[in-house]
């Protein structure tokens, strides 16, 4: 059981590292906008080729 005297502090160091990484990510603006990046991937640059997709009524081709 004595192993936990080593393993728990080790775990806490890992948690601290994760927290540091998260703080860095927040600080560099990666959490400022959680919605639009997902959409930009879907719609990036090329519009779907004509007639290939079963487009819903009223859509632009």
Partner 1 sequence: MSGAGTACFHCGEPIPAGFAVTARIGDRDQPVCCYGCKAVAEFITGSGLGDYYRYRDANSTRADESPRPDRWTAYDKPELVERLTRAEPGGARSMTVLLEGLRCAACSWLADKALRLQSGVLDVSVNPATARARLVWNPDKVRLGDLLRVLESVGLRPHPISGEPAVQLALLERRTALKRLAVAGLGMMQVMMFSVPLYIGESSGMDSDIRQYLRLISMLVCLPVVLYAGWPFYAGAWQALRARGLNMDVPVSLGIVLAFVASVFNALRGEGDIYFDSVTMFIFFLSVGRYVEMIARHRAGSVADALARLAPVTARRIRGNSIEDVQVIDLSVGDTLLVRSGEVLAADGLVLAGDGRVDESMLTGESAAIAKGPGSRVNAGTHNLGAPLEVRVEAVAGDTVLSGIVALLERAHAERPRIARSADRAAAWFLSRILIGAALVCVAWMFVDPSRALPATLAVLVATCPCALSLATPAALAAATSALARRGVLVAHTDAFEALAASREVLWDKTGTLTQGLVKIEEIQPLAKLPANRCLELAAALERWSEHPIARAFLAVSDETETATDVEVHGGEGLEGLVAGRRYRLGDERFVLQLERHPRDSERLAAPEKSGWIYLGDSEGPIAAFRLTDQLRAEARDCVSALEGLGITSRIVSGDQVEAVARIASRCGVEIFESRMTPLAKLEYLKDLQSDGRIVAAVGDGINDAPLLRGADVAVAMGRGSALAQTSADFILVRDSLDEVPATVVLARRTKRVIRQNLAWAFGYNLLVLPLAALGFVPPWLAAIGMSLSSVAVVLNSTRLSRKSPTVDGGRWTAVEQAKAAG
Distance CA 17, CA 41 (A): 30
Would you give the distance in Å from CA 52 to the centre of its chain? 30
Q: How far apart are CA 39 and CA 61, in angstroms?
A: 19
Query: Binders of partner 1 among 31-50, rule CB under 8 A?
Result: 31-36, 38-40, 42-43, 47
Task: State yes or no: residue 10 binds partner 1 (CB under 8 A).
Answer: no
Q: Are the C-beta atoms of residues 61 and 50 closer than 8 Å to each other?
A: yes
Exactly one of 3, 5, 10, 17 binds partner 1 (CB under 8 A); that residue is 5
Question: Binding residues for partner 1, per CB under 8 A?
Answer: 1, 4-5, 8, 11-12, 15, 18-19, 22-23, 26-27, 31-36, 38-40, 42-43, 47, 53-61
């Amino acid at each position: 059981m004595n192993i936990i005297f080593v393993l728990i502090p080790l775990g806490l160091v890992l948690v601290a590292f994760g927290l540091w990484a998260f703080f860095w990510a927040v600080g560099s603006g990666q959490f400022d906008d959680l919605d639009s990046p997902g959409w930009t991937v879907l719609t990036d640059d090329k519009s779907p080729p004509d007639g290939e997709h079963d487009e819903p009524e009223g859509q632009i081709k």
